[in-house]
Amino acid sequence: MATTVIDGRRRRGDESRRAILSDAVNLASIHGLDGLSIGTLAERTGASKSGIVALFGSKLDLQLATIQAARELFLTRVVEPTLRAPRGVTRLWTLCRTWLDYSRGRTFDGGCFFRAAAAEADSKAGPVRDALVAIDDEWIAFVERCVSLAEEELPALRNPQLLAFELIALLDAANRGSLLHGNDHDYDLAEIAMRSRLIAAGADPELLDSIRI
């Protein structure tokens, strides 16, 4: 009986933690991680401050947990669908299109959580910046890996690392421009630019057009 009670409490605690983190991620995508506090989160969720403290401890612990929750959501929305696509240009183009859909669909209320968080923390040393750097490195490595696996289908490609950098830059620009101007025009431009870049590297235009996300 005691074990059942403990398991029930743990399950309810996990559910509360997930629900609060969902709100925390969206709040931070708009107001930044510095604007994320136990007080503002309590107001948004209706939970007590003491309850949030019991779940997360300090503000720093809450910020780090929020970053990891955003990472898990990004993996679900972008990385996992990409990995289901066949290796090569198909996977690379799926990655580009899936990321655009992730940002365009406002997975996070304030656009891409990581772009907002990085802009705020890039000059502030500490655990939050370290966590964001680790995730950004992971993302860059993933894009570079997708490019590497597509090299045989990109005969004119001379610098795979540069292509990965360009694709990431275009995705970031689309996210930022869309948020600032309040429309999808920058997403359309980014898709056209990325398609042109892949074709210039030797990708088959008909293959790109045939890929459905």
Higher pLDDT, 58 or 86: 86
Q: For residue range 50-83, list pLDDT tens digits in order.
A: 888 888 888 899 999 999 999 999 999 999 999 9
How far apart, in whole angstroms, are the C-alpha atoms of residue 151 and residue 159? Answer: 10
Percent of the chain with pLDDT over 70: 93
pTM of the entire predicted model: 0.87
pLDDT of residue 42: 85
Percent of the chain with pLDDT over 90: 60
Q: For residue range 155-178, list pLDDT tens digits in order.
A: 999 999 999 999 999 999 999 999
Higher pLDDT, 80 or 16: 80
Question: Average pLDDT for residues 171-194, to the nearest whole number?
Answer: 94
**Helix/strand/coil (H/E/C) assignment for every residue in the chain:** CHHHHHHHHHHHHHHHHHHHHHHHHHHHHHHCCCCCCHHHHHHHHCCCHHHHHHHHCCHHHHHHHHHHHHHHHHHHHHHHHHHCCCCCHHHHHHHHHHHHHHHHCCCCCCCCHHHHHHHHHCCCCCHHHHHHHHHHHHHHHHHHHHHHHCHHHCCCCCCHHHHHHHHHHHHHHHHHHHHHHCCCHHHHHHHHHHHHHHHHCCCCHHHHHHCCC
CATH topology of domain 2-210: Tetracycline Repressor; domain 2 (1.10.357)
- Sole residue written with tokens 């997930």: 18
Question: What residue segments make up the domains of the chain, in order of their start?
Answer: 2-210
Q: Are 88 and 152 within 8 A, CB to CB?
A: yes
Residue 8 binned pLDDT confidence (cut-offs 50, 70, 90): low
Name the token pair of 65.
């947990």
Residue 139, pLDDT > 70, answer yes
